[in-house]
Amino acid sequence: MTPNAAEHRFQPSRRDFLLTGAAWALGGLPFVSRAAEPQAKAPAEATPKNPYADAVFVAGEPPLPAEGSFTFAVLPDTQFYAQKHPDTFLAQTRWLVEQRERRRIAGVLHLGDITNSNTVPQWENARKALQVLMDAKLPMCLVPGNHDFGPGGGCADRTTLMSKFFPVAELSQASHWKGNYDKEPDRSENSWHFLEAAGRKFLVLCLEFGPRNDVLRWAHEVVGAHTDREVILLTHAHIYHDDTRYDQVRFGKKQNHNPHTYFAKAQPDINDGEEVWAKLISRHEHFVLTLNGHVTNDGLGRVVTSTTKGHAVPQLLVNFQMKPNGGDGWLRLIEMRKDGTMQTYDYSPTRKQTNASKQNQFTIPWA
């Protein structure tokens, strides 16, 4: 935490399930540096003993947005859909297009690990599913995850097929696309977008996994040039499952899969959640939300941190890849209400259920 920054948890403690039935999660495994295995085989799809120990299932879809409200749809970690369950990925994007008008969906926000192994067949499956959004001209913002980088998705380096299957020349044709990282004009891993709904104007900032220092320089310039916009940050790794930010200096091996533990060669030019907070978010007063995936265990976390000037920034982790069938089709809807709050709903169009547990369905202020 940066000096004078106040950090607030939404709940006094994590629920007991993290200490009992969910001991299957990766958070309980020994820490292993990915740098030691630059081309390690991507992990197999998880098969937890009781993946729904904490669930409160409600049949059917979440309620429609209140009058004057609108929705952001969140797609976290679709890696196993791209690898093994492409029909589920298609079901998600088709449902979002069908719901666009009813739920006033302002944009679809993907949190990275689009694929599991950074291979052509998996990118083809991802492209087919996301093409549904593109054909409908439903605004879509993408970031890459660690599994989208390097040979076999091992994140040995920053090579990726993302720009081949989602090229800048094509993505930039969308009206919401405003630009990408100035030093890599032909790469789509870092970008920024304008979204608008119900009179609110947003800048969605999309950053690569473990963003480099110069990428943060570019992001700082973009955000600073648009102080009239409320900023939403998308990046693959930011909040950990225990409601803290990724922080290599403070937590070290107590946090699994920090961005600093990836890439084959020692690369000091990597920033984790705490460093992104200190170098970028805390320097501006118009960030209103951050979203990330990546983390396993229960795949859920949230924290609010205030800047030195007292501006509170909600930061959310959401990831469903540990559920059966690669994630059981779960996605998150964030209803942005005119009363100044955000209401989350987690829904699966394949299960046709809403999960109303207190970790999946909650209300927070949105600055």
Any idea what the CATH number is for the domain that residue 90 is in? 3.60.21
- At residue 49, the pLDDT reads 76
Q: CA 91, CA 114: separation in Å to the nearest integer?
A: 15
Give the burial class of 134: count Cβ atoms within 10 A of its Cβ; 0-12 exposed, 13-18 middle, 19 or more buried.
middle
116 part of a folded domain: yes
Q: How far apart are CA 184 and CA 105, in angstroms?
A: 30
Angle ∠(269,270,276) on CA atoms, nearest 5: 120
Closest C-alpha to 33, from 261, 260, 254: 261
Q: Is residue 239 included in any domain, yes or no?
A: yes
Q: Residue 120 has what pLDDT?
A: 98
Q: Confirm whether 174 is domain-assigned.
A: yes
Radius of gyration of the chain (CA): 19
Task: Please report which confidence band the pLDDT of residue 268 belongs to, taking 50, 70 and 90 as the band edges.
Answer: confident
Q: Model confidence at 114, in pLDDT bands (50, 70, 90)?
A: very high
Is the pLDDT assigned to residue 17 strictly greater than 70? no
Task: Kindly tell me if the per-residue pLDDT of 99 is higher than 50.
Answer: yes
The 3 state secondary structure assigned to 151-165 is HHHCCCCCCCCHHHH
Q: Is the sign of the CA dihedral 66, 88, 291, 107 positive or negative?
A: negative
Work out the angle at residue 265's Cα, subtended by the Cα atoms of residues 262 and 271, and round it to the nearest 5 degrees: 50
Give the pLDDT score at 18. 34
- What percent of the chain clears pLDDT 70, i.e. is strictly above it? 86
The whole-chain average pLDDT of the chain stands at 89
Residue 312's pLDDT is 96
> What pLDDT sits at residue 366?
74
Q: Which range marks the domain in which residue 158 is found?
A: 73-365
Is the pLDDT at 80 greater than 80? The verdict is yes
Q: What is the pLDDT of residue 12?
A: 36
Q: Count CA within 13 A, CB hemisphere, residue 339.
A: 9
Using 50, 70 and 90 to split pLDDT, how confident is the model at 44?
low
In this prediction, residue 2 carries a pLDDT of 41
Closest CA to 326 of 150, 95, 76: 76
Query: Is the pLDDT reported for residue 33 higher than 90?
Result: no
pLDDT score for 1: 44
For 338-356, write each residue's pLDDT tens digit: 999 999 999 999 999 999 9
Least confident of 9-23, 206-220, 249-263: 9-23
What was the pLDDT predicted at 266?
61
What per-residue confidence (pLDDT) applies to 32? 32
By percentage, how much of the chain surpasses pLDDT 90?
84
Half-sphere exposure of 224 (CA within 13 A, CB side): 10
Count of the separate structural domains present in the chain: 1
What average pLDDT score do residues 246-265 get?
94
- Describe the chain by its helix, strand, coil percentages, rounded to 5: 25, 25, 50
Q: Considering only 25-29, 70-74, 235-239, 258-262, which range has the smallest mean pLDDT?
A: 25-29
Rounded mean pLDDT, 38-66: 76
Burial class (CB within 10 angstroms; exposed 0-12, middle 13-18, buried 19+) of 217: middle
What tokens appear for 44 in the block? 């197999």
CA dist 100 and 348 (Å) reads 16
For the purposes of burial, counting CB atoms within 10 Å of the CB of 235, is it exposed (0-12), middle (13-18) or buried (19 or more)?
buried
Tell me: pLDDT of 97 over 80.
yes
Q: Is residue 36 part of a domain?
A: no
**Tens-place pLDDT, residues 132-148:** 999 999 999 999 999 99
| For residue 54, pLDDT beyond 70 | yes
The answer to whether residue 304 sits within a structural domain is: yes
| Phi and psi torsions of 143, nearest 5° | -130, 150
- Is the pLDDT reported for residue 14 higher than 80? no
In a domain, 50, yes or no: no
> 263-281 burial string, b = 16+ CB within 10 Å, else e?
bbeeeeebbbbbbbbbbbb
pLDDT on residue 365 = 87
CB 191 within 8 A of CB 141: yes
Residue 261 in 3-state DSSP?
Answer: helix
Beta strands 140-141 and 353-355 are: unpaired
- Domain presence at residue 48: no
H/E run at residue 134: helix 120-135
Backbone angles phi, psi at 178, to 5 degrees: -120, -15
Residue 65: inside a domain: no
End-to-end CA distance of the chain: 20
Q: Tell me, what's the pLDDT at 218?
A: 98
